[in-house]
């Protein structure tokens, strides 16, 4: 069987729409993310459809979203912190650990 995989690419239109909704110019996003604004324009226009993970992580952090959103894998624009908070105080803990900590007076 041949090796088959789906190509995952940056959704430039989605990235541009979120950037504008968050009130950033391409120049401001680039500055906050730590690279050249031409890179933002190329990603948004579709000239670059693939970017390094560190690049996407920096953009996602500035736009307060996730890499998955920038790649079009989810429609949820919330950040990782918001997703964890929405899951509740025991998110990520094994069952019973949060209750045991509370009983022992630990946050």
What value does the mean pLDDT take over residues 12-26? 96
Q: What CATH number has the domain spanning 12-76?
A: 1.10.260.40
The pTM (predicted TM-score) of the whole model is: 0.74
Locate the domains of the chain by residue range. Answer: 12-76
Residue 73 scores a pLDDT above 60: yes
Whether residue 99 is predicted with pLDDT greater than 70 in this model: the reply is: no
CB contact at 8 A, 29 and 58: no
| pLDDT tens, position by position, 34-46 | 999 999 999 999 9
More confident residue, 96 or 6: 6
- Weakest-pLDDT range from 27-31, 78-82, 97-101: 97-101
């Amino acid at each position: 069987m041949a090796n088959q995989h789906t190509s995952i690419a940056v959704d430039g239109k989605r990235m541009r729409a979120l950037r504008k909704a968050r009130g950033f110019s391409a120049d401001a996003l680039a500055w906050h993310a730590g690279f050249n604004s031409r890179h933002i324009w190329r990603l948004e226009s579709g000239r670059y459809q693939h970017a390094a993970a560190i690049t996407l992580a920096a953009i996602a952090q500035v736009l307060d979203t996730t890499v998955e959103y920038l790649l079009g894998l989810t429609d949820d624009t919330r950040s990782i912190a918001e997703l964890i908070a929405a899951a509740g105080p025991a998110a990520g803990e094994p069952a019973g650990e949060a209750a045991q900590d509370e009983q022992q007076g630990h946050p």
